[in-house]
Chain A
Amino acid sequence: MTRDLLQRLERGVVLLDGGLGTELIAMGLAQGQAPEWWVLERPEQVQQVHRAYAEAGSDVIHACTFGATPLKLHSAGLPGRCEEVNRRAVELARAAAGDALVAGDIGPTGVMFPPMGEATVEQLAASYEEQVGHLVRAGVDLLSIETMFDLREARVAVQAAARSGLPLLACMTFEARKRGVFTIMGDALVPSLRSLHAAGATAVGLNCSVDSSHMIPMLREAAAQLRCPLVAQPNAGQPQIGAAGVTYDATPEPFAADLMQMVRDGARVIGGCCGSTPEFIRVARRALDEG
Protein backbone atom coordinates (compact mmCIF):
# COMPACT_ATOMS: atom_id res chain seq x y z
CA MET A 1 0.00 0.00 0.00
CA THR A 2 1.27 3.42 -0.85
CA ARG A 3 1.81 5.98 1.86
CA ASP A 4 0.67 8.70 -0.49
CA LEU A 5 -2.80 10.11 0.03
CA LEU A 6 -2.90 11.48 -3.51
CA GLN A 7 -2.35 8.05 -5.05
CA ARG A 8 -5.04 6.57 -2.83
CA LEU A 9 -7.40 9.36 -3.86
CA GLU A 10 -6.76 8.56 -7.51
CA ARG A 11 -7.81 4.98 -6.87
CA GLY A 12 -11.03 5.84 -5.07
CA VAL A 13 -12.70 7.21 -2.00
CA VAL A 14 -10.56 7.54 1.14
CA LEU A 15 -12.12 6.50 4.46
CA LEU A 16 -10.88 8.39 7.52
CA ASP A 17 -11.40 7.33 11.13
CA GLY A 18 -14.14 8.44 13.53
CA GLY A 19 -14.31 10.31 16.83
CA LEU A 20 -11.25 10.11 19.06
CA GLY A 21 -12.06 12.54 21.88
CA THR A 22 -15.53 11.07 22.40
CA GLU A 23 -14.04 7.54 22.49
CA LEU A 24 -11.51 8.63 25.12
CA ILE A 25 -14.29 10.25 27.17
CA ALA A 26 -16.15 6.93 27.00
CA MET A 27 -13.00 5.32 28.43
CA GLY A 28 -12.92 7.76 31.33
CA LEU A 29 -11.15 10.90 30.11
CA ALA A 30 -12.49 13.64 32.40
CA GLN A 31 -14.83 16.28 31.01
CA GLY A 32 -12.82 19.37 30.20
CA GLN A 33 -9.50 17.51 30.19
CA ALA A 34 -7.63 17.72 26.90
CA PRO A 35 -7.13 14.36 25.12
CA GLU A 36 -3.45 15.30 24.73
CA TRP A 37 -3.05 14.56 28.45
CA TRP A 38 -3.73 10.92 27.69
CA VAL A 39 -1.04 10.87 25.00
CA LEU A 40 1.36 11.36 27.90
CA GLU A 41 -0.45 9.60 30.77
CA ARG A 42 -2.64 6.86 29.21
CA PRO A 43 -0.97 6.14 25.86
CA GLU A 44 -2.29 2.56 25.78
CA GLN A 45 -5.89 3.89 25.72
CA VAL A 46 -5.17 6.28 22.86
CA GLN A 47 -3.48 3.50 20.95
CA GLN A 48 -6.40 1.16 21.57
CA VAL A 49 -8.75 3.61 19.82
CA HIS A 50 -6.34 4.01 16.89
CA ARG A 51 -6.03 0.23 16.54
CA ALA A 52 -9.80 -0.22 16.60
CA TYR A 53 -10.17 2.27 13.74
CA ALA A 54 -7.38 0.64 11.74
CA GLU A 55 -9.02 -2.77 12.21
CA ALA A 56 -12.40 -1.29 11.25
CA GLY A 57 -10.96 -0.32 7.89
CA SER A 58 -9.86 3.32 8.14
CA ASP A 59 -7.42 4.39 5.43
CA VAL A 60 -6.22 7.25 7.62
CA ILE A 61 -5.69 7.42 11.39
CA HIS A 62 -5.67 10.88 12.99
CA ALA A 63 -2.97 11.22 15.63
CA CYS A 64 -4.18 12.67 18.94
CA THR A 65 -2.88 16.16 18.16
CA PHE A 66 -6.07 18.15 17.51
CA GLY A 67 -5.28 20.41 20.46
CA ALA A 68 -1.50 20.26 20.18
CA THR A 69 -0.64 23.74 18.97
CA PRO A 70 1.53 25.52 21.54
CA LEU A 71 -1.29 28.01 22.22
CA LYS A 72 -3.92 25.33 22.85
CA LEU A 73 -1.56 23.16 24.92
CA HIS A 74 -0.83 26.18 27.08
CA SER A 75 -4.50 26.67 27.91
CA ALA A 76 -4.88 22.90 28.44
CA GLY A 77 -2.25 22.94 31.17
CA LEU A 78 0.54 21.49 29.02
CA PRO A 79 2.72 24.52 28.30
CA GLY A 80 6.06 23.86 26.66
CA ARG A 81 5.17 20.25 25.75
CA CYS A 82 4.42 20.78 22.03
CA GLU A 83 7.31 18.72 20.66
CA GLU A 84 6.77 15.89 23.12
CA VAL A 85 3.00 15.66 22.66
CA ASN A 86 3.13 15.73 18.86
CA ARG A 87 6.02 13.27 18.60
CA ARG A 88 4.51 10.76 21.01
CA ALA A 89 1.02 11.08 19.56
CA VAL A 90 2.36 10.29 16.08
CA GLU A 91 4.34 7.33 17.46
CA LEU A 92 1.15 5.95 19.03
CA ALA A 93 -0.83 6.35 15.81
CA ARG A 94 1.93 4.88 13.66
CA ALA A 95 2.34 1.81 15.85
CA ALA A 96 -1.41 1.10 15.62
CA ALA A 97 -2.07 2.14 12.02
CA GLY A 98 -0.80 -0.88 10.09
CA ASP A 99 -1.28 -0.06 6.41
CA ALA A 100 -3.30 3.07 7.17
CA LEU A 101 -1.78 6.50 6.74
CA VAL A 102 -1.13 8.69 9.77
CA ALA A 103 -2.48 12.24 9.71
CA GLY A 104 -1.22 15.01 11.93
CA ASP A 105 -4.44 16.50 13.31
CA ILE A 106 -4.57 20.28 13.66
CA GLY A 107 -7.40 22.17 15.39
CA PRO A 108 -8.13 25.77 16.36
CA THR A 109 -5.77 27.47 18.80
CA GLY A 110 -8.65 28.71 20.96
CA VAL A 111 -7.21 32.21 20.69
CA MET A 112 -9.52 34.40 18.63
CA PHE A 113 -9.11 37.45 16.47
CA PRO A 114 -10.76 40.76 17.47
CA PRO A 115 -13.46 41.56 18.36
CA MET A 116 -13.76 38.19 20.16
CA GLY A 117 -10.14 38.07 21.29
CA GLU A 118 -6.75 39.61 20.77
CA ALA A 119 -5.04 37.13 18.45
CA THR A 120 -2.74 38.38 15.72
CA VAL A 121 -1.89 36.63 12.45
CA GLU A 122 1.77 36.45 13.48
CA GLN A 123 0.93 34.82 16.81
CA LEU A 124 -1.29 32.15 15.25
CA ALA A 125 1.11 31.55 12.34
CA ALA A 126 3.98 30.93 14.77
CA SER A 127 1.83 28.51 16.77
CA TYR A 128 0.77 26.50 13.70
CA GLU A 129 4.27 26.52 12.23
CA GLU A 130 5.68 25.06 15.40
CA GLN A 131 3.13 22.22 15.52
CA VAL A 132 3.49 21.47 11.81
CA GLY A 133 7.27 21.29 12.20
CA HIS A 134 6.98 18.73 15.00
CA LEU A 135 4.41 16.67 13.08
CA VAL A 136 6.57 16.58 9.96
CA ARG A 137 9.66 15.54 11.94
CA ALA A 138 7.56 12.85 13.64
CA GLY A 139 6.89 11.42 10.19
CA VAL A 140 3.19 11.96 9.47
CA ASP A 141 1.96 11.05 5.97
CA LEU A 142 -0.45 13.97 5.70
CA LEU A 143 -1.87 16.85 7.68
CA SER A 144 -5.56 17.28 8.56
CA ILE A 145 -6.95 20.60 9.73
CA GLU A 146 -10.38 20.27 11.35
CA THR A 147 -13.23 22.13 13.05
CA MET A 148 -12.12 25.60 11.97
CA PHE A 149 -14.86 28.19 12.53
CA ASP A 150 -13.04 31.37 11.50
CA LEU A 151 -11.81 31.56 7.91
CA ARG A 152 -9.03 33.93 8.92
CA GLU A 153 -7.60 31.41 11.37
CA ALA A 154 -8.20 28.51 8.96
CA ARG A 155 -6.17 30.28 6.27
CA VAL A 156 -3.29 30.87 8.66
CA ALA A 157 -3.34 27.17 9.56
CA VAL A 158 -3.55 26.04 5.91
CA GLN A 159 -0.70 28.28 4.85
CA ALA A 160 1.52 26.97 7.66
CA ALA A 161 0.60 23.35 6.88
CA ALA A 162 0.89 23.68 3.10
CA ARG A 163 4.50 24.80 3.35
CA SER A 164 5.34 21.29 4.60
CA GLY A 165 4.65 19.94 1.12
CA LEU A 166 2.55 17.11 2.60
CA PRO A 167 -0.97 16.35 1.34
CA LEU A 168 -3.39 18.47 3.34
CA LEU A 169 -7.06 18.08 4.28
CA ALA A 170 -8.78 21.23 5.55
CA CYS A 171 -12.24 21.16 7.11
CA MET A 172 -14.35 23.87 8.66
CA THR A 173 -17.48 23.49 10.74
CA PHE A 174 -20.70 24.94 9.37
CA GLU A 175 -24.33 25.30 10.33
CA ALA A 176 -27.42 26.01 8.25
CA ARG A 177 -28.62 29.54 9.02
CA LYS A 178 -31.48 31.56 7.64
CA ARG A 179 -29.47 32.95 4.74
CA GLY A 180 -27.41 29.88 3.93
CA VAL A 181 -24.62 27.75 5.33
CA PHE A 182 -22.12 29.62 7.48
CA THR A 183 -19.58 29.24 10.26
CA ILE A 184 -20.34 30.83 13.60
CA MET A 185 -18.25 33.81 12.42
CA GLY A 186 -20.37 34.28 9.32
CA ASP A 187 -17.99 32.72 6.78
CA ALA A 188 -20.06 31.28 3.93
CA LEU A 189 -19.56 27.64 2.88
CA VAL A 190 -18.42 27.77 -0.74
CA PRO A 191 -16.23 30.91 -0.60
CA SER A 192 -14.54 29.55 2.55
CA LEU A 193 -13.71 26.19 1.01
CA ARG A 194 -12.56 27.82 -2.22
CA SER A 195 -10.28 30.08 -0.19
CA LEU A 196 -8.74 27.15 1.71
CA HIS A 197 -8.07 25.27 -1.50
CA ALA A 198 -6.44 28.36 -3.00
CA ALA A 199 -4.32 28.68 0.16
CA GLY A 200 -2.87 25.23 -0.47
CA ALA A 201 -5.20 22.51 0.84
CA THR A 202 -5.32 19.32 -1.25
CA ALA A 203 -8.92 18.56 -0.28
CA VAL A 204 -11.40 20.74 1.62
CA GLY A 205 -14.67 20.11 3.38
CA LEU A 206 -16.85 19.98 6.45
CA ASN A 207 -16.68 18.34 9.85
CA CYS A 208 -18.50 18.41 13.18
CA SER A 209 -21.52 20.54 14.26
CA VAL A 210 -24.11 18.64 12.20
CA ASP A 211 -25.20 15.04 11.79
CA SER A 212 -24.86 13.12 8.55
CA SER A 213 -28.34 13.89 7.22
CA HIS A 214 -27.82 17.64 7.63
CA MET A 215 -24.38 17.49 6.02
CA ILE A 216 -25.75 15.99 2.79
CA PRO A 217 -27.22 19.24 1.38
CA MET A 218 -24.15 21.21 2.48
CA LEU A 219 -21.79 18.80 0.72
CA ARG A 220 -24.03 18.89 -2.35
CA GLU A 221 -23.87 22.69 -2.42
CA ALA A 222 -20.08 22.59 -2.21
CA ALA A 223 -19.80 19.89 -4.87
CA ALA A 224 -21.94 21.90 -7.28
CA GLN A 225 -19.49 24.80 -7.21
CA LEU A 226 -16.04 23.42 -6.41
CA ARG A 227 -13.75 21.20 -8.46
CA CYS A 228 -11.28 20.13 -5.75
CA PRO A 229 -11.67 16.86 -3.75
CA LEU A 230 -14.20 17.27 -0.94
CA VAL A 231 -14.13 15.92 2.62
CA ALA A 232 -17.17 15.08 4.79
CA GLN A 233 -16.91 14.13 8.48
CA PRO A 234 -20.31 14.51 10.18
CA ASN A 235 -21.13 13.90 13.82
CA ALA A 236 -22.89 10.68 14.78
CA GLY A 237 -26.20 12.40 15.38
CA GLN A 238 -26.95 15.01 17.99
CA PRO A 239 -25.56 14.91 21.52
CA GLN A 240 -27.99 13.76 24.23
CA ILE A 241 -27.57 14.36 27.92
CA GLY A 242 -28.35 11.46 30.20
CA ALA A 243 -27.35 9.92 33.47
CA ALA A 244 -24.41 8.28 31.70
CA GLY A 245 -23.16 11.64 30.44
CA VAL A 246 -23.20 12.77 26.83
CA THR A 247 -24.20 10.25 24.18
CA TYR A 248 -24.88 10.59 20.45
CA ASP A 249 -28.09 9.35 18.95
CA ALA A 250 -27.09 8.06 15.49
CA THR A 251 -26.64 4.41 14.59
CA PRO A 252 -24.00 3.05 12.18
CA GLU A 253 -26.20 1.91 9.26
CA PRO A 254 -28.07 5.17 8.50
CA PHE A 255 -24.84 7.08 9.10
CA ALA A 256 -23.02 4.94 6.53
CA ALA A 257 -25.92 5.32 4.09
CA ASP A 258 -25.64 9.11 4.41
CA LEU A 259 -21.87 8.93 3.84
CA MET A 260 -22.49 6.88 0.69
CA GLN A 261 -24.99 9.50 -0.49
CA MET A 262 -22.29 12.13 -0.02
CA VAL A 263 -19.88 9.98 -2.04
CA ARG A 264 -22.43 9.86 -4.88
CA ASP A 265 -22.79 13.64 -4.55
CA GLY A 266 -19.03 14.16 -4.88
CA ALA A 267 -17.26 13.54 -1.55
CA ARG A 268 -13.86 11.88 -2.04
CA VAL A 269 -12.77 11.68 1.60
CA ILE A 270 -15.27 10.56 4.25
CA GLY A 271 -15.17 9.82 7.96
CA GLY A 272 -16.86 10.53 11.25
CA CYS A 273 -16.56 13.23 13.88
CA CYS A 274 -17.92 13.42 17.44
CA GLY A 275 -19.75 10.34 18.68
CA SER A 276 -18.77 8.06 15.79
CA THR A 277 -17.06 4.84 16.85
CA PRO A 278 -15.07 2.06 15.18
CA GLU A 279 -18.40 0.32 14.50
CA PHE A 280 -19.54 3.30 12.40
CA ILE A 281 -16.33 3.08 10.39
CA ARG A 282 -16.63 -0.71 10.00
CA VAL A 283 -20.12 -0.34 8.54
CA ALA A 284 -19.00 2.53 6.29
CA ARG A 285 -16.05 0.40 5.07
CA ARG A 286 -18.39 -2.40 4.14
CA ALA A 287 -20.74 0.00 2.34
CA LEU A 288 -17.83 1.51 0.40
CA ASP A 289 -16.39 -1.87 -0.59
CA GLU A 290 -19.77 -3.08 -1.75
CA GLY A 291 -19.98 0.09 -3.83
Chain B
Amino acid sequence: MSNESQPTPSAMSEAVVAGDAELARRLARQALEQGMPPLQAIEEGFVVGIRRAGQLWEEGDYFLPELVTSAEAMQAAMAVLRPALQRGAGGSVGRVVIGTVQGDIHDIGKTLVATLLSANGFEVSDEGSDVPVERFVERARELQADLVCASALLTTTMAAQRDLVQALARAGLSARVLVGGAPVTRAWAEQIGAAGHADSAVAAVEVARSLISGVQP
Protein backbone atom coordinates (compact mmCIF):
# COMPACT_ATOMS: atom_id res chain seq x y z
CA MET B 1 0.00 0.00 0.00
CA SER B 2 1.41 3.39 -0.89
CA ASN B 3 2.11 5.87 1.84
CA GLU B 4 -0.44 8.43 0.59
CA SER B 5 -3.40 6.18 1.40
CA GLN B 6 -2.25 5.83 5.03
CA PRO B 7 -4.16 8.02 7.48
CA THR B 8 -1.22 10.25 8.36
CA PRO B 9 -1.88 13.82 9.46
CA SER B 10 -0.23 15.16 6.32
CA ALA B 11 -2.41 12.96 4.08
CA MET B 12 -5.49 14.24 5.91
CA SER B 13 -4.36 17.81 5.51
CA GLU B 14 -3.59 17.27 1.82
CA ALA B 15 -7.02 15.74 1.17
CA VAL B 16 -8.66 18.89 2.53
CA VAL B 17 -6.36 21.25 0.62
CA ALA B 18 -7.14 19.30 -2.57
CA GLY B 19 -10.85 19.38 -1.81
CA ASP B 20 -11.11 15.58 -2.08
CA ALA B 21 -14.11 14.74 0.10
CA GLU B 22 -14.02 11.03 -0.76
CA LEU B 23 -10.39 10.69 0.29
CA ALA B 24 -10.93 12.78 3.45
CA ARG B 25 -13.84 10.53 4.47
CA ARG B 26 -11.78 7.38 3.87
CA LEU B 27 -8.77 8.71 5.80
CA ALA B 28 -11.03 9.62 8.72
CA ARG B 29 -12.49 6.10 8.79
CA GLN B 30 -9.03 4.53 8.60
CA ALA B 31 -7.76 6.76 11.40
CA LEU B 32 -10.55 5.56 13.69
CA GLU B 33 -10.00 1.92 12.67
CA GLN B 34 -6.33 2.23 13.56
CA GLY B 35 -7.11 3.70 16.94
CA MET B 36 -6.09 7.31 16.34
CA PRO B 37 -7.94 9.62 18.77
CA PRO B 38 -10.47 11.63 16.73
CA LEU B 39 -9.35 14.94 18.22
CA GLN B 40 -5.80 14.21 17.06
CA ALA B 41 -6.97 13.46 13.50
CA ILE B 42 -8.90 16.73 13.50
CA GLU B 43 -6.32 19.00 15.06
CA GLU B 44 -3.16 17.60 13.51
CA GLY B 45 -4.66 16.59 10.17
CA PHE B 46 -7.87 18.02 8.80
CA VAL B 47 -7.79 21.39 10.57
CA VAL B 48 -4.25 21.98 9.31
CA GLY B 49 -5.63 21.42 5.81
CA ILE B 50 -8.55 23.79 6.12
CA ARG B 51 -6.30 26.46 7.60
CA ARG B 52 -3.95 26.02 4.66
CA ALA B 53 -6.87 26.36 2.23
CA GLY B 54 -7.88 29.56 4.01
CA GLN B 55 -4.33 30.82 3.70
CA LEU B 56 -4.25 30.03 -0.02
CA TRP B 57 -7.46 32.03 -0.37
CA GLU B 58 -6.02 34.99 1.47
CA GLU B 59 -2.86 34.84 -0.61
CA GLY B 60 -4.82 34.84 -3.86
CA ASP B 61 -4.04 31.29 -5.01
CA TYR B 62 -7.45 29.85 -4.17
CA PHE B 63 -10.83 31.15 -5.29
CA LEU B 64 -14.28 30.46 -3.94
CA PRO B 65 -14.82 27.10 -5.71
CA GLU B 66 -11.55 25.69 -4.31
CA LEU B 67 -12.33 27.01 -0.85
CA VAL B 68 -15.81 25.49 -0.92
CA THR B 69 -14.58 22.08 -2.01
CA SER B 70 -11.96 22.18 0.76
CA ALA B 71 -14.67 22.99 3.29
CA GLU B 72 -16.73 20.10 1.91
CA ALA B 73 -13.80 17.71 2.35
CA MET B 74 -13.39 18.99 5.92
CA GLN B 75 -17.07 18.41 6.60
CA ALA B 76 -16.93 14.90 5.10
CA ALA B 77 -14.14 14.01 7.53
CA MET B 78 -15.96 15.65 10.44
CA ALA B 79 -19.12 13.67 9.70
CA VAL B 80 -17.09 10.50 10.32
CA LEU B 81 -15.15 11.81 13.32
CA ARG B 82 -17.82 13.75 15.20
CA PRO B 83 -19.77 10.72 16.58
CA ALA B 84 -16.52 9.16 17.81
CA LEU B 85 -15.54 12.46 19.38
CA GLN B 86 -18.77 12.73 21.33
CA ARG B 87 -18.51 9.11 22.54
CA GLY B 88 -15.02 9.75 23.82
CA ALA B 89 -15.37 13.23 25.26
CA GLY B 90 -18.45 12.97 27.46
CA GLY B 91 -20.83 15.90 27.64
CA SER B 92 -20.95 19.08 25.60
CA VAL B 93 -18.86 22.10 26.62
CA GLY B 94 -21.63 24.45 25.60
CA ARG B 95 -24.43 24.90 23.10
CA VAL B 96 -23.83 27.18 20.13
CA VAL B 97 -26.04 28.53 17.36
CA ILE B 98 -23.96 29.84 14.47
CA GLY B 99 -24.67 31.42 11.10
CA THR B 100 -23.88 34.16 8.61
CA VAL B 101 -26.30 37.07 8.90
CA GLN B 102 -29.09 37.86 6.48
CA GLY B 103 -28.09 39.27 3.11
CA ASP B 104 -24.67 37.67 3.33
CA ILE B 105 -23.85 34.42 1.57
CA HIS B 106 -20.27 34.12 2.80
CA ASP B 107 -20.00 30.74 4.42
CA ILE B 108 -16.37 29.77 4.67
CA GLY B 109 -15.17 31.49 7.85
CA LYS B 110 -18.38 30.65 9.63
CA THR B 111 -18.15 26.98 8.60
CA LEU B 112 -14.58 26.82 9.79
CA VAL B 113 -15.54 28.28 13.18
CA ALA B 114 -18.45 25.83 13.45
CA THR B 115 -16.15 22.94 12.64
CA LEU B 116 -13.51 23.96 15.15
CA LEU B 117 -16.08 24.58 17.89
CA SER B 118 -17.55 21.17 17.22
CA ALA B 119 -14.09 19.59 17.23
CA ASN B 120 -13.49 21.20 20.60
CA GLY B 121 -16.55 19.67 22.21
CA PHE B 122 -19.22 22.33 21.67
CA GLU B 123 -22.65 21.24 20.55
CA VAL B 124 -23.04 23.31 17.39
CA SER B 125 -26.11 24.07 15.34
CA ASP B 126 -24.94 25.57 12.04
CA GLU B 127 -27.79 27.54 10.47
CA GLY B 128 -25.87 28.24 7.27
CA SER B 129 -25.69 31.62 5.55
CA ASP B 130 -28.23 34.40 4.92
CA VAL B 131 -29.83 33.70 8.32
CA PRO B 132 -32.53 36.17 9.45
CA VAL B 133 -32.28 37.57 12.99
CA GLU B 134 -35.58 35.88 13.92
CA ARG B 135 -34.13 32.51 12.95
CA PHE B 136 -31.11 33.02 15.24
CA VAL B 137 -33.44 33.95 18.10
CA GLU B 138 -35.80 31.06 17.48
CA ARG B 139 -32.97 28.51 17.40
CA ALA B 140 -31.27 30.02 20.45
CA ARG B 141 -34.53 29.62 22.34
CA GLU B 142 -35.16 26.05 21.12
CA LEU B 143 -31.66 24.84 21.94
CA GLN B 144 -31.22 26.94 25.10
CA ALA B 145 -28.00 28.10 23.51
CA ASP B 146 -25.15 29.48 25.57
CA LEU B 147 -23.65 31.31 22.60
CA VAL B 148 -24.87 32.75 19.34
CA CYS B 149 -22.12 33.29 16.78
CA ALA B 150 -22.92 35.64 13.91
CA SER B 151 -20.62 36.20 10.96
CA ALA B 152 -20.84 39.15 8.56
CA LEU B 153 -18.44 39.56 5.67
CA LEU B 154 -19.87 42.72 4.18
CA THR B 155 -19.98 46.20 5.59
CA THR B 156 -23.55 46.36 4.31
CA THR B 157 -24.67 43.35 6.35
CA MET B 158 -22.81 43.82 9.63
CA ALA B 159 -25.59 46.01 11.03
CA ALA B 160 -27.56 42.76 11.36
CA GLN B 161 -25.17 41.78 14.15
CA ARG B 162 -26.39 44.76 16.16
CA ASP B 163 -30.00 43.83 15.40
CA LEU B 164 -29.25 40.32 16.66
CA VAL B 165 -27.84 41.51 19.99
CA GLN B 166 -30.93 43.67 20.52
CA ALA B 167 -33.38 40.96 19.42
CA LEU B 168 -31.90 38.38 21.81
CA ALA B 169 -32.15 40.88 24.67
CA ARG B 170 -35.76 41.70 23.75
CA ALA B 171 -36.57 37.99 23.68
CA GLY B 172 -35.18 37.70 27.21
CA LEU B 173 -32.60 35.12 26.22
CA SER B 174 -29.33 34.84 28.09
CA ALA B 175 -27.28 33.57 25.13
CA ARG B 176 -24.21 35.74 24.59
CA VAL B 177 -23.23 36.93 21.15
CA LEU B 178 -19.88 36.35 19.50
CA VAL B 179 -19.36 38.30 16.26
CA GLY B 180 -16.83 37.78 13.49
CA GLY B 181 -16.10 38.43 9.83
CA ALA B 182 -13.63 40.48 7.83
CA PRO B 183 -14.92 43.99 8.65
CA VAL B 184 -15.71 43.22 12.31
CA THR B 185 -13.49 44.85 14.93
CA ARG B 186 -13.37 44.85 18.70
CA ALA B 187 -14.67 48.44 18.61
CA TRP B 188 -17.68 47.33 16.59
CA ALA B 189 -18.36 44.45 19.00
CA GLU B 190 -18.25 46.86 21.94
CA GLN B 191 -20.38 49.43 20.15
CA ILE B 192 -23.20 46.94 19.51
CA GLY B 193 -22.96 45.24 22.90
CA ALA B 194 -21.72 41.86 21.68
CA ALA B 195 -20.06 39.73 24.37
CA GLY B 196 -17.02 39.04 22.22
CA HIS B 197 -15.43 39.12 18.82
CA ALA B 198 -12.84 36.97 17.09
CA ASP B 199 -10.65 37.74 14.10
CA SER B 200 -9.81 34.13 13.26
CA ALA B 201 -11.42 30.72 13.65
CA VAL B 202 -8.85 29.64 16.21
CA ALA B 203 -9.41 32.80 18.23
CA ALA B 204 -13.15 32.16 18.05
CA VAL B 205 -12.73 28.87 19.91
CA GLU B 206 -10.70 30.57 22.64
CA VAL B 207 -13.21 33.40 23.00
CA ALA B 208 -16.11 30.91 23.04
CA ARG B 209 -14.40 28.91 25.79
CA SER B 210 -13.76 32.00 27.88
CA LEU B 211 -17.31 33.28 27.46
CA ILE B 212 -18.70 29.94 28.64
CA SER B 213 -16.32 29.61 31.57
CA GLY B 214 -16.54 33.29 32.48
CA VAL B 215 -12.76 33.62 32.37
CA GLN B 216 -11.22 36.35 30.24
CA PRO B 217 -8.85 35.00 27.55
Contacts and interface: CB of A to CB of B under 8 A. Distances in A.
B59 A178 contact: yes
A116 B72 CA distance: 10
A26 interface: no
Interface in B35-74: 59-61, 63-66, 68-69, 72
Interface string A218-257: 0000000000000000000001110101100000000000
A186 interface: yes
Contact of A241 (B65, B160, B188): B188
Contacts of B130: 75
B68 A241 contact: no
A11 interface: no
Contact of B64 (A178, A186, A240, A246): A186
B157 interface: yes
Contacts of A32: 101-103, 157, 159-160
Nearest to B156: A246
Nearest to B154: A239
Interface in B132-164: 155-160, 163
Given A178-B60, A179-B60, A239 B156 contact: yes
Given A178-B61, A179-B60, A185-B64, A241 B158 contact: yes
B103 A31 contact: yes
A198 to B, nearest CB: 22
Interface residues of A, number: 22
Contacts, number: 53
B193 interface: no
Contacts of B72: 115
Interface string B187-211: 0100100000000000000000000
B169 interface: no
A110 interface: yes
A182 interface: yes
A31 B160 contact: yes
A177 B65 CA distance: 15
Interface in A151-206: 177-179, 182-186
Nearest to A22: B156
Contact of B61 (A179, A241, A243): A179
B22 to A, nearest CB: 14
30 contacts: A31-B103, A31-B156, A31-B159, A31-B160, A31-B163, A32-B101, A32-B102, A32-B160, A75-B130, A110-B105, A112-B105, A115-B65, A115-B69, A115-B72, A116-B64, A116-B68, A179-B60, A184-B63, A185-B63, A185-B64, A186-B64, A186-B65, A186-B66, A239-B155, A239-B156, A239-B183, A241-B188, A243-B191, A245-B159, A246-B156
